[in-house]
Amino acid sequence: MTAPSISARRLGLGIGLLCALALAVLGGRLLIAGIAAHQAQSFLDDWRELGEVPTETAWGVAEAAARRAIAFYPGDNGDYYDRLGRVYEWRQQDLDFGAPEAQDSREQALAAYRQAVAVRPDWPDTWVQIAFVKLRLLAFDEEFDRALQLGFENGPWRLRINRGLATVGLIAWPQLDEAQRAQVLTSAARTVAHDDYQAVQLFGLSDQIDQTRLLCDSLPADLLRQRGVCLSEADTEGPPWPGNTW
């Protein structure tokens, strides 16, 4: 057996160096993308905890970080697009549904969510967020219907999904057809069945939007008794929970 020629050894060494360089570049891009994604998520977590719309400065830093994560990730990442959409949703979170001045940021959020579901079409969280944005845009169209349906189908037993679908559906109730209303009530029942805290939260929302009667008339009676909601004063002791006035 003859020894490899010098040129062959050099070729092998060159290929090895190129592979090492490519891996280093890939690793560097992944690292930068991961750090940027973490930075953007930290802002989102803070805004959610505080419950306040961010300042323009804070929002600008978060938006740049979310876009940097997408730019440096070697490929399409549905999670990163979803995070960018949430950053845009927070920009004018406090404005009314259909507010013209919030149109641009909500359309930007919707565009990011569309890219997210193009990468991972079975992810229910993003479909629920699409439904939320369409609600805020007052755009009750085929995309809104599809978002409700796919959120319901792909996340049937996840609390966050059921809570989100129940919230969107109760607010958008007049715009829904009978099949959609049935799914919303199923999600509402699953949310209430989870624990007392979730029941209080959902009935608190229903009180704000004048939908408590709907829930009291539609959810299973044994579930309502278990949670202590929708009971007459004669059936309860102590201070009533939300919905106990019927």
Tell me the CB-side half-sphere exposure of residue 180, using CA atoms within 13 A.
23
Q: Mean pLDDT, the chain, as a whole number?
A: 88
Give the start-to-end residue ranges of the domains of the chain: 22-155, 158-233
Q: Which of 166, 171, 176, 161 is nearest to 136 (CA)?
A: 171
Cα three-residue angle 156-196-131, rounded to 5 degrees: 40
Q: Where are the beta strands (DSSP E) in 30-129?
A: none
Question: What's the pLDDT tens digit per position in 87-140?
Answer: 999 999 999 999 999 999 999 999 999 999 999 999 999 999 999 999 999 999
Predicted pLDDT at 23: 61
- DSSP letter assigned to residue 5: P
Rounded to two decimals, the pTM is 0.84
19-23, 82-86, 214-218: which range is least confident on average? 19-23
Cα three-residue angle 36-40-46, rounded to 5 degrees: 145
Amino acid identity of residue 102, one-letter, is: A
The domain 22-155 belongs to what CATH superfamily?
Tetratricopeptide repeat domain (1.25.40.10)
Do 26 and 44 form a contact (C-beta atoms < 8 A)?
Answer: no
